[in-house]
Amino acid sequence: MARDLITVTPETDAYDAIALLLKHRISGAPVVDGSGNLVGMLSERDCLKTLLHAQYHNLPTALVKDLMSTELRTIPSDTDVLQVAELFVHNRFRRLPVVDRGRLVGQISRKDVLRAIQRMRSSEPPAE
Domains annotated for the chain, with CATH where assigned, are 14-122 (3.10.580.10)
* Cβ(107)–Cβ(96) below 8 Å: yes
pLDDT for position 126:
61
DSSP-assigned letter for residue 59: -
Q: What is the mean pLDDT of residues 69-78?
A: 92
What confidence tens digit (pLDDT) does each residue in 20-61 have? 999 999 888 999 999 989 999 999 888 887 777 677 666 667
pLDDT for position 68:
93
- Res. 125 pLDDT band, cuts 50 70 90: low
pLDDT for position 30:
94
Q: Which of 78, 124, 70 is nearest to 98 (CA)?
A: 78
Residue 64 has pLDDT above 90, yes or no: yes
| Length of the chain, in residues | 128
Percent of the chain surpassing pLDDT 70: 90
pLDDT for position 52:
75
pLDDT for position 75:
95
